[in-house]
Structure 1
Amino acid sequence: MVLNASGKIVESSSSSVSPAVLASYGNRVLKANEKLISTLVKPTDTNDSVSFTLAAVEVEVFMVGPNVTLDKIPRLDTTNSSVDIDLIGIAKNNNETRSAAVAFMSYNTMENLLKPDFNTSNDTIKTMMSTVISATLPKTTNTKLTKPVNFTLKHIREFDPDGSLSCVYWNISEWIIDGCSVLETNSSYTVCSCVHLSTFALIMQTSRPSESDSLLELLNLVCVIVGLVFFSLALLTFALCQWSPGMNNVARINLCLSLLLAHLLLLLTQQFLSLIRPHQVLCAVISGVLHFLFLSGFVWMFIEAVLLFICVKNLSQISSKKREVLSSGYLCVIGYTVALVVVAVSAVVNPKGYGSEQCWIKMDKGFIWSFMGPVCVILALNMILFICIIINLISTLKNRNAEVSQMKRTKIMTFKTLAQFVVLGCSWILGLFTNDRKELEILFLILNSQQGTFIFLVYCVLNDEVRQQYRKFFRCLCCGLKSNTIKKH
């Protein structure tokens, strides 16, 4: 009852209370729990153990007596931590009783009281990476350790490869590093070695964001909104304007639709990240949807290059061949199924790969290549297709076996699609090499957010037929406004 009550106190601790007051509450809870757990220790001739799990704390108690037959005690485990201790060696040092006991406790919400701060530079952000654990030697006369104690602490938050991990222990009012060191670490857990017993935790230090990051966030917000506006205008133009008979806009429409939804979802996620992040499942779902939408954009870019290749290959009979090429419905199935299969396979292979701190694909264990791998393959195939397209164009131009107007239109479309490939593809490749360099980050941000602007300018504004329809629309709009004004007067 007392342990459950103390757990509720820890969970309901107000963030408005000062850290010093919270620390004093934490000290009382730790002392009360250690006294309670010590009552579980009973005399034994060989060895015995007691364990239980509550909502706020998990407890493992192991006791050895003078006639213990074990070579070493088994590892004491809780859900997120474990301990290896030479309890038999400690018992041998207790000459009178030849017995000893260890109590191992893992607190699930103690970080609410014992804040992750310790005596290092204030220029870093400190994050609790493990549950708070305690290890004591209750009812043991000689508590001197014969060997360092190793604690294995599972990471309860996403591991930042650039961060600095510290094994720390609690000393009344703050966390201290002395006496503990990191023995081994990876993205999932860290092993700490300590020369004394106390209350321990794992804290990560990461660089504090610079003031320029706020300017970068503002630039990102403005650029993405501008890009979304032009994506919308491009979609309306593709859907409503009249195009030449040989023009197939299916790939372009779906490309814009995929990227529009992806950028919109990404923008909303960034703006409401503090609300979304606590819900890990929702965050993982969002990252999976973003993976699908961005990947489908690249698939549609590849489909557009394939259609252009077919058009160039059959330049002299493009209108007849167009009907023999894949139908719009079949193209839609290919465009979205390929991306869906990649995401589904990625989720099955590594279901924990989705849901980073930014609700995107996690960078650890190389899972980012579930996105960048297909992107690089598509970009390589596109490059091969463009080389073939240019070779075919040169060959057709020499043979002069196509209409001049059709030839000119195809050449223009080739260079427009090639430019689209460079802008849409190379921006993501650039993202791999930013390495926290502000200049490259800004360039990546602008290129990535202005894809809609580029598509609208190249395919709509620079198209003579579309410009004529724009003029006609604005004339009608102006005439309608004038007539309404005259009627009012």
Structure 2
Amino acid sequence: MDFVLVGLLLVASLVQAEPSCPKGYQKVGDICVDEDECQDIRCGKHSICHNTLGSYYCTCQTGFFSKTPNFTTITGQCRDINECTRSGGTPCSENMTCVNTIGSYKCSCLSGYQKNSTKPEVCIDVDECAIAPHVCEYGICSNTPGTFTCSCPQGFRNQGNSSTPCKDIDECDSEEHMCGKNGSCLNSIGSYHCRCDNGYSNYGNNQSKCTALKCERANSTSEPVDTVMGGLLNILTSTCQSLSRPAGQQLTGKEHAGETLLKELLSVSEAVVLGGALNHSATLSTFLGAVEETMHLISPQLNHPLTRIHNNVSEAWLAVRKDRSPPNGSVLLTMDDVHLNMSWETAVGSSYPGYAYVALVSYKGLDSRSSPVQVSEELDMSQRNATYQLNSRVVTALISNPHTQALAQPATLTFKHLQEGSVSEGLNYSCVYWEETPSGGVWSGRGCVKAELNSTHAVCTWSHLSSFAVLMALYPIKDSFELVWITRVGLTVSLVCLFICIFTFCFCRPIQGTRTTIHLHLCVSLFIADLLFLFFISSTGNKGACAFVASLLHFFFLAAFCWMLLEGVQLYRMVVLVFHTTLRPLYMFIVGYGVPLAIVLISAAAFAKGYGTDRHCWLSLEEDFIWSFFAPVCIIILLNSFFFIVTIWKLAAKFSTLNPDFSKLKKLRSFVVTAVAQLCVLGGMWVFGCFLFQEQGTLVMSYLFTLLNSLQGALIFIMHCLMSKTVREEYSKLFGTVCPSQKKRYSDFSTNQSSNSQQPLKSLQSTGESEI
């Protein structure tokens, strides 16, 4: 035990006596040398060991990182760096993609790009269309950065996305194919065509649905109507027959065939309108219906988006769309006197056969004289039995939509008035359409959603389509109490004055002569005319009696003007001619009464219904019958004006001679002045009378006509009786005889006058005009 203890103490003393090396060093001989810890794997994977004096530290290799910059642990320190996602951005250039690797990365070109041979670090676009020209097959290849697209023509579609080849579309491979149920579909590469069954047609558009043809009017018109319409129904029939051919034999549609048919339609329509065949409601219904149905057959055959054709009577505007998808938006068709505004959606309707059209046809030749103005019962009742006239162009509006009785969106027609006038108590306007009835047709206002009317235009909004126009309603204006009073009093005064004139011209012997005879019959004609006018002008209850009164007024007023013409001729002969200045009585009666009678008989034979209207027993405005009076009056006024101008010119020449007979010339001048004044009053009266007897005669014209009509009798009495010295002397004798208290005074006056003027009076009686 002691021995062991001694040994241990000896060893301990030896150890304390030998020196040791610090950590990180090792003793080599007597020297402590740095120990290279990196010779052993101490830092772990992807790290680098760095030896230091007495120690070491570890760092990560390039492409790796550690949370601790210098570490001495062995494992889990270095991790791979993802260079493709670091915050500094991808290290690759444009059009490249970055691929991370362990401790590094690599860059590759995107799809559709390739490395530039001269600059490998740059990727350039690959032109796939140049490398593979047929990559799209039936389509058109368009290169784009990094890729390409295939644009497929109509009838083809991409097999996948836009970069896939185009393949044919089988339009016939569907339950409801493109041709509809009434046609057979035949597919072809990139296209198809339709063969329609009998009775159906696609109007030459072989890629449109087959729809039923409507040719009822061409097949069901009566023989008389067919004769009147002539070529119009022939066009409808021939067009229907050509489009109704069996499948495989239908027309494929020649270029401009639609335009040719449209020109022919308008040409034939012009002949129908100008031929005067539309004066009955039945023929007008057939005409408008035939034009509308023919337009439905022609419109789908037109190839241009807009077509306008016109002639002297008709005008047609058509807008046509032939696209795979239905058109949308608004469509406006504008003519000189009418505009149509509606939407394409309304024109297309619920089904789209591959085409759509909007058409507007205007008939310039249709007016109140050439077509009937018959209105529906509801319109007539609302307008208080007014008289109607067409005050716009008659137009037909039609669309491809077969269901036009209740439009989803209304159509607006804007008309320009043919006769402008403000709405008043006696005038109004109505938006109307031609409604077919079993007996023919009438103008009706049903279906007008909105109407905006002024003195120049009418804006009519309709819920259906047909043939439209604007009616001018003329209300019968009841004469005022003042006008009736002036008429009665004035005509009574005129009749009294004319009666005195007739009595004077008949029984005043000193003034007997040719001019007196003319004045006598002038007064007789005016007296009878005024008498009829006063008591019978408004007797319209009995049409026969009213027509008789109108014919008598026509005759006697014309007779008055004819006798005035004779007075002008007589004055001309008295001034210009030296001998034979007196007109023969036979010639005077032939002109004074024979000419008016001939005019009345010819007028009655030509248009017997022209005598008598709903308001007056006078000449009707229909068929311009009123001109059977105004035309002769205008001719007589012009002739008399010529005679008076020549007479006045000759009188002025006679006054300027060296030895004029002033007594004769002054008397002639007074004759001419009175005759001109007489012509002005009676002629001026009928200038206003021209407006009075029109349906829209104004109250002002009524007053002027009445005043002048009242003045004519008084004027004749003043000019031919009171202003004549001889007549005044005869009146004095007459009053002297009637009033005994003045007998002596007038007797003396008469004796003196008779002694002074006995010889001239005899001369007057014998020659008639020798006093001059």
Equivalence for 2:667: 409
The reply to whether residue 367 of structure 1 matches residue 625 of structure 2 is: yes
Name which structure has the greater RCO, CA cutoff 8 Å, separation 6+: 1
1:467 aligns with 2:467: no
Aligned to 2:146: none
**CA separation in 2, counterparts of 1:163 and 1:285?**
32
Confirm whether residue 228 of structure 1 aligns to residue 495 of structure 2: yes
Cα displacement (A) at 1:310: 0.5
1:424 aligned partner: 682
Q: CA deviation at 1:257?
A: 0.9
Give the Cα separation in 1 of the matches to 2:566 and 2:502. 18
Alignment of 1:50-449 (within 5 A): 74=220, 82=282, 117-118=381-382, 125-127=384-386, 164=429, 177-179=445-447, 205-207=473-475, 209=477, 213-244=480-511, 248-270=515-537, 272-273=539-540, 275-276=541-542, 279=543, 281-314=544-577, 321-322=580-581, 325-357=582-614, 358-399=616-657, 403-432=661-690, 436-449=697-710
1:409 deviation in Å? 1.5
- Distance between the aligned counterparts of 1:481 and 1:399, measured in 2? 46
Structure 1: 5+ residue stretches without partners: 1-67, 89-109, 119-123, 130-144, 150-160, 170-175, 182-192, 197-202, 483-489
Deviation of 1:148 after TM superposition, in Å, equals 5.7
Q: TM-score, normalised by structure 2?
A: 0.38
Q: How big is the shift at 1:330?
A: 2.6
Change (3 A) 1:207 1:72: same
Q: Note if contact 1:224-1:263 (Cα within 8 Å) is conserved in structure 2.
A: yes
The answer on whether the counterparts of 2:385 and 2:475 sit within 8 Å (CA) in structure 1 is no
Q: Contact 1:296/1:339 (CA < 8 Å) preserved in 2?
A: yes
Deviations 1:167-207 (A, max 9, x none): 699xxxxxx943279xxxxxxxxxxx9969xxxxxx98544
Q: What one-letter code is carried by the residue in structure 2 that aligns with 1:234?
A: C
SS at match of 2:530: helix
Shift of 1:359: 1.7
- Alpha carbons 1:299, 1:378 under 8 Å: kept: yes
Q: Verify the 8 A CA contact 1:126 1:205 in the aligned structure 2.
A: no
By how many angstroms is 1:166 displaced? Answer: 6.9
1:263 and 1:245 map into 2 onto residues whose CA distance is 25
Contact in 2 for aligned 1:127/1:204 (Cα 8 Å):
no
Shift of 1:227: 0.9
Could you say if the C-alpha distance between residues 244 and 292 of structure 1 is closer, same or farther in structure 2, counting changes exceeding 3 Å? Answer: closer
**Conserved? CA contact 1:125–1:208, under 8 Å:** no
SS at structure 2 position matched to 1:178: coil
Q: Residues 339-381 of structure 1: CA distance to partner in whole angstroms, max 9, x if unpaired?
A: 1222223233333322222121112332222211111111111
AA matched with 1:269:
F
Amino acid at match of 2:447: G
**Kindly tell me: are residues 467 and 293 of structure 1, through their superposed partners in 2, closer, same or farther at Cα, counting changes over 3 Å?**
same
Q: Equivalents in 1 of 2:655, 2:512: separation in Å?
A: 22
Cα distance between partner residues in 1 of 2:565 and 2:729: 30
3-state SS of 1:359 partner: coil
What SS does the corresponding residue of 2:619 show, helix, strand or coil? coil
Offset from partner CA, 1:258-277 (integer Å, 9 cap, x none) = 1111111122213533x33x
Residue identity opposite 1:299 in structure 2? C
Q: CA deviation at 1:441?
A: 2.8
Following the alignment from structure 1 to structure 2, what is the Cα–Cα distance between the partners of residues 448 and 370? Answer: 20
Of Structure 1 and Structure 2, which has the larger fraction of its residues in helix?
1
2:550/2:618 contact within 8 Å kept:
yes
**Cα drift, residue 444 of structure 1:** 2.1
Structure 1 SS opposite 2:385: strand
Q: Residue 603 of structure 2 contacts residue 628 of structure 2 at CA under 8 Å; is this kept in 1?
A: yes
| 2:656 match: secondary structure | helix
Q: Deviations over 1:369-398 (max 9, x none)?
A: 221111111111111111111111112222
Call closer, same or farther: CA 1:128–1:414 in 2, change over 3 Å.
closer
Q: Give the distance between the partners of 1:69 and 1:428, measured in 2 at CA.
A: 54
CA apart distance, 1:234:
0.8
Can you give the 5+ residue segments of structure 2 that lack an aligned partner in the other structure?
1-213, 226-278, 294-375, 389-401, 407-425, 436-443, 450-461, 466-470, 744-772
SS of the residue 1:126 aligns to = coil
Tell me how large the CA RMSD over aligned residues is: 4.3
Q: Which residue of 1 aligns with 2:234?
A: none
Q: CA deviation at 1:423?
A: 1.0
Name the CA distance, whole Å, in 2 between partners of 1:227 and 1:471.
23
Residue deviations 1:16-73 (CA, integer Å, cap 9, x gap): xxxxxxxxxxxxxxxxxxxxxxxxxxxxxxxxxxxxxxxxxxxxxxxxxxxx995656
Query: Sequence identity, in percent?
Result: 29
Change (3 A) 1:207 1:312: same
- Are residues 346 and 428 of structure 1, via their aligned partners in 2, closer, same or farther at CA, if it must alter by over 3 Å? same
- Residue 286 of structure 1 deviates from its aligned partner by 2.2
- Opposite residue 382 of structure 1, the aligned amino acid is N
> TM-score, length-normalised on structure 1?
0.58
Q: CA deviation at 1:230?
A: 0.9
Q: Determine the C-alpha separation between the residues in 1 that align with 2:676 and 2:215.
A: 75
AA partner of residue 726 (structure 2): E
Say whether the 8 Å CA contact 2:430–2:445 is kept in structure 1. no
**Which of 697, 711, 716 pairs up with 1:455?**
716
Residues in 2 aligned to 1:284 and 1:432: alpha-carbon distance in whole angstroms:
19
Q: Is the 8 A contact 1:125 1:205 kept in 2?
A: no
Higher strand share: 2
Distance 1:126 1:312, change over 3 A: same
Q: Is the 8 A contact 1:262 1:293 kept in 2?
A: yes
Partners of 2:514 and 2:583 within 8 A in 1: no
Write the distance in 2 (CA, Å) between the matches of 1:270 and 1:334: 26
Deviations 1:266-318 (A, max 9, x none): 22213533x33xx2x3322322221111111111101001001111113xx5x
Shift of 1:233: 0.9
Q: Deviations over 1:100-158 (max 9, x none)?
A: xxxxxxxxxx98xx99534xxxxx633598xxxxxxxxxxxxxxx95669xxxxxxxxx
Aligned residues between the structures: 335
Paired with 1:162 and 1:128, the residues of 2 have a C-alpha distance of 10
